[in-house]
């Protein structure tokens, strides 16, 4: 199935589910579960949250991940620094990529903003195949990130 259709369905489902709670952790857990289980190229899907200038793992689905990411290295930190989606078709070509799991081949990171516009953390998606993520994933993940703090 086309990824646009999958994301559209997931977003509809998330909006409905989020009527029950505006708790950000509950929403992030729900986002991770739906993306991981509904889109087959997600080998890992979850959140890293900015706390005291560190990136600490949040809700996720998939294999065990790093609890804390080395400061200012890797794809997640690039997303925080640049405040935009980072698409990595081949993680081995990304300078200082942090491999929490050696099977990861491609990756996408999209920043999550708080209502005041500051960075709350990132959504991170990993695939065990190269070049799984593109601008379409980035566009929909930005919409999904925007739902976390929506009333």
CB 48 within 8 A of CB 58: yes
CB 86 within 8 A of CB 108: yes
Helices and strands, counts by H and E, the chain: 4, 6
Q: Are strands 68-69 and 44-51 parallel, antiparallel or unpaired?
A: unpaired
- Over the window 116 to 145, marking each residue x when it contacts ligand SME by CB under 6 A and - when it does not, the resulting string is --------x-x-------------------
CB of 55 to ligand SME, least distance (A): 8
Stretch that binds ligand SME, among 22-30, 31-39, 93-101, 140-148 (CB under 6 A): 93-101
- Over the window 62 to 81, marking each residue x when it contacts ligand SME by CB under 6 A and - when it does not, the resulting string is ---xx--x----xxx-----
38 three-state secondary structure: helix
CB of 22 to ligand SME, least distance (A): 26
Residue whose tokens read 């099977």: 103
Residues 52-63 as b/e (b if ≥16 CB within 10 A, e otherwise) read eeebebbbbbbe
- Size of interface with ligand SME, in residues (CB under 6 A): 14
Q: Does 148 help bind ligand SME (rule: CB under 6 A)?
A: no
Q: At what angle do helices 135-147 and 3-18 cross, to 10 degrees?
A: 0
CB of 145 to ligand SME, least distance (A): 16
Q: Does 98 help bind ligand SME (rule: CB under 6 A)?
A: yes
Where does this chain bind ligand SME (CB under 6 A)?
44, 65-66, 69, 74-76, 97-98, 100, 104, 107, 124, 126
């Amino acid at each position: 199935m086309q990824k646009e259709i999958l994301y559209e369905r997931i977003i509809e489902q998330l909006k409905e589910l989020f009527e029950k709670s505006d708790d950000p952790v509950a929403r992030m857990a729900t986002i991770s579960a739906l993306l991981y289980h509904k889109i087959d190229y997600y080998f890992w899907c979850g959140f890293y949250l900015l706390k005291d200038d560190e990136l600490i793992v949040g809700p996720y689905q998939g294999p065990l991940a790093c609890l804390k990411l080395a400061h200012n290295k890797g794809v997640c930190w690039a997303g925080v620094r640049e405040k935009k989606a980072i698409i990595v078709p081949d993680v081995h070509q990304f300078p200082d990529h942090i491999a929490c799991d050696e099977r990861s081949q491609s990756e996408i990171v999209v920043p999550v903003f708080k209502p005041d516009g500051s960075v709350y953390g990132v959504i991170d998606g990993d695939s065990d195949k190269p070049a799984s993520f593109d601008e379409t994933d980035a566009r929909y993940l930005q919409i999904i990130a925007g739902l976390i703090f929506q009333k």
